Amino acid sequence: MTNAEPHEFLRKIIHRQTTPSALPLRVFFTGPAGCRKKFLLRLAMDLYNRYSNTGNTTAYNAFVICASIEKVVVAVG
């Protein structure tokens, strides 16, 4: 990802959490080790927690499901 891509992704989270008519955001992170996936995921989780159910908004409740690739491969078969 370039520097602009994570910034735009985080802005989309804020927009969707503060716009009642917005659909939930579904994201799949992939990339090599050390490309800051976990860092970006933690930022996204923080934004969801910060902007969920604030004021009079009817924004969606947010949740994150995470697994290492080894566990996903075993679960899928």
Domain ranges across the chain: 4-76
**pLDDT tens digits for 29-66?**
888 888 888 888 888 888 877 877 555 555 455 566 66
How many residues in total does the chain contain? 77
Q: What is the DSSP letter of 27?
A: -
Write out pLDDT tens, residues 4-30. 888 888 888 888 888 878 777 788 888
Count CA atoms within 13 Å of residue 1 on its CB side. Answer: 17
